[in-house]
Structure 1
């Protein structure tokens, strides 16, 4: 199953952290592929190891990168579904690029051609959940709410009572389950779903709805009304052009590994010569803290950098952050994350 296919994390955090390191090797969890794309224009990076236990996530990134290498940037955005395109056109584009895909990946997408025709960024489990729930959300909030995306937020017209009612509704696990969300990150008993309405309320209070991609995805279903300057890195045309150029010049090698991150690191100790940059996404949505500590203990090279997130599970209390990994200081980058839903942390071995 594809859990996410569109942008779902503020990858500017990982992007800025990578730029501050001397890493030429990146190990990254695939996810939706958008966080991976945000790291690929960095000219210091020569080797990227994309790791995921979900093979469909690897196929998604392979499709996106093949599309970017074959199509123009504008057509890539249309093919993926970030911009409008006819279903027949997307199928024609797939026919142009499918021979660039590994056999298993090509077969997967041939069997899921309807997802391509509808735009792959609309077809993840999370994106489909939003599509189902969005009409009810917007009905509850009324038309005035859309004015909150204006430059000044039009606070005088904000439907506060409707908003507070919506926040209360989405503070309960059952609501997500009733609308068909089966992702453990949301519906596990220990998932703190109240973080979602809390984050959305902070965006409203800060007047930040217009600049936050997640708000656009939730309430509009697309990012086409965002200011270009606020676009996630993986959708910025100059970033995509640079990635496209790097792929064409073979200055970047990308390896795909259908395995567990910890198993991959243990099996490739000789290959992963530091400093290596590890981007693990919200791995604590699916693993416990001890698992993350085991990964951290495997990283011994000076300058090795580990970046991870928490979402609704295993969130870290402020008084535990500094010594969270026992042997390394942990830095908190949560304030730099625009959705207000994630905590983001990093740890780096001393050089």
Structure 2
């Protein structure tokens, strides 16, 4: 079985310079133990590294894109060579003008391919590698050209200051939720604009309904029910940096644990399907599957899910997100895979990467 998405999209550029899924809920969902072997979609590397904080026996990162694996490799090198403060500067979360020097300190740790990639992307290093992806440039367009049309910097700062739940709800209703905000949001986050400036258009093949309205509803939740002062994803979208919050892998208290476990991590440029052909049965305990099922037809999703089950050890757990296309275990697999619905819904209510429509946690029986 080949990879459906590999036939429909190209992978030469960095699509995601950061992981836009909340690793705080991912780590809780997977409940990783020291004897566990984990399979993780690499993406930019943040959430794969987050799994190392729990000291698993082994983490295997996969991605179809050499550019995404170059992002992972540079992060690994940064954890080895830099201090926590310097790591934040390299990412772009912290201020600093010496990013080229930080890169030179990491460069010897990179494979020849990753070294060539980053040597050819010095402008991205200057800006901070967390800005280097197509998705991040999409958000940059939003905050530079769209957001100022409806909200000035002072109002953005007021929003991000958070406060009590009552204060957040009142501020959103009174100051933020204008007709101009809703109108421009619906245009910028429409299927058409997002498919051309943000995600690959092919990623919307199995999406039904109004994309912008669904994302607007989740955004309202993030700006009111969740605290913007504690939301690194929202802060980056609105300001281009982390202000008062950091993603899990960048928390200072997780830095040393991730660094100590880097030797337990390996990575491959491979589809999940090809990897499963090699790994055999009874091999994996925990899966970080990002939102890869979003891009598959229901039939291909079911086939891949069956192969993941076959590769799993007893009580293995799968965690993945739905953004716009609904994916969850079919009834035909009820005797093999159990949805952990209460856990998933409780964690989804805390999900700071707010644009997803569902978080799914399932356990092999």
How does the TM-score come out when normalised to structure 1? Answer: 0.85
Q: Do 1:322 and 1:330's aligned partners in 2 also have CA atoms closer than 8 Å? A: no
| 2:180 alignment counterpart | 162
C-alpha distance in 1, partners of 2:329/2:147?
37
| 2:4 alignment counterpart | none
Deviations 1:188-226 (A, max 9, x none): 4736523221211222342633332232122212112x2
Query: Cα offset for 1:73?
Result: 1.1
**Structure 2 residue 207 is the aligned partner of structure 1 residue 197:** no
Query: Cα offset for 1:166?
Result: 3.0
| 1:118 alignment counterpart | 127
| 2:291 alignment counterpart | 282
| 1:216 alignment counterpart | 235
| 1:24 alignment counterpart | 36
CA distance 1:21–1:324, shift in 2 (3 Å) = farther
CA distance 1:206–1:91, shift in 2 (3 Å) = same
Pick the aligned partner of 2:306 from 294, 307, 330.
294
**Structure 2 residue 288 is the aligned partner of structure 1 residue 273:** no
Pick the aligned partner of 1:338 from 340, 349, 352.
352
Query: Cα offset for 1:283?
Result: 0.5
Pick the aligned partner of 1:73 from 73, 84, 87.
84
Query: Cα offset for 1:65?
Result: 0.8
C-alpha distance in 2, partners of 1:157/1:197?
16
CA distance 1:321–1:209, shift in 2 (3 Å) = farther
CA distance 1:279–1:78, shift in 2 (3 Å) = same
| 1:34 alignment counterpart | 46
Q: How many correspondences in the alignment?
A: 332
Q: Do 2:236 and 2:242's aligned partners in 1 also have CA atoms closer than 8 Å? A: yes
**Structure 2 residue 359 is the aligned partner of structure 1 residue 349:** no
Pick the aligned partner of 2:321 from 295, 299, 309.
309
Instruction: Name structure 2 gaps, 5 residues minimum.
Output: 1-12
CA distance 1:94–1:167, shift in 2 (3 Å) = closer
CA distance 1:259–1:20, shift in 2 (3 Å) = closer
Query: Cα offset for 1:282?
Result: 0.6
C-alpha distance in 1, partners of 2:201/2:303?
17
CA distance 1:15–1:323, shift in 2 (3 Å) = same
CA distance 1:240–1:168, shift in 2 (3 Å) = same
Considering only aligned residues, what root-mean-square deviation do their CA atoms show, in Å? 2.5
Query: Cα offset for 1:345?
Result: 0.9
SS at match of 1:222: coil
| 2:112 alignment counterpart | 103
C-alpha distance in 1, partners of 2:61/2:81?
21
| 2:272 alignment counterpart | 261
Q: Do 2:34 and 2:54's aligned partners in 1 also have CA atoms closer than 8 Å? A: no
Q: Do 1:54 and 1:258's aligned partners in 2 also have CA atoms closer than 8 Å? A: yes
Q: Do 1:216 and 1:222's aligned partners in 2 also have CA atoms closer than 8 Å? A: yes
CA distance 1:336–1:79, shift in 2 (3 Å) = same
SS at match of 2:338: coil
**4+ residue segments displaced more than 6 Å:** none
Structure with greater proportional helix content: 2
C-alpha distance in 1, partners of 2:333/2:149?
43
| 1:142 alignment counterpart | 151
Q: Do 1:305 and 1:347's aligned partners in 2 also have CA atoms closer than 8 Å? A: yes
Query: Cα offset for 1:233?
Result: 0.9
Deviations 1:69-123 (A, max 9, x none): 011111111122211221xx21122222211111221122112222212211011
C-alpha distance in 1, partners of 2:34/2:331?
24
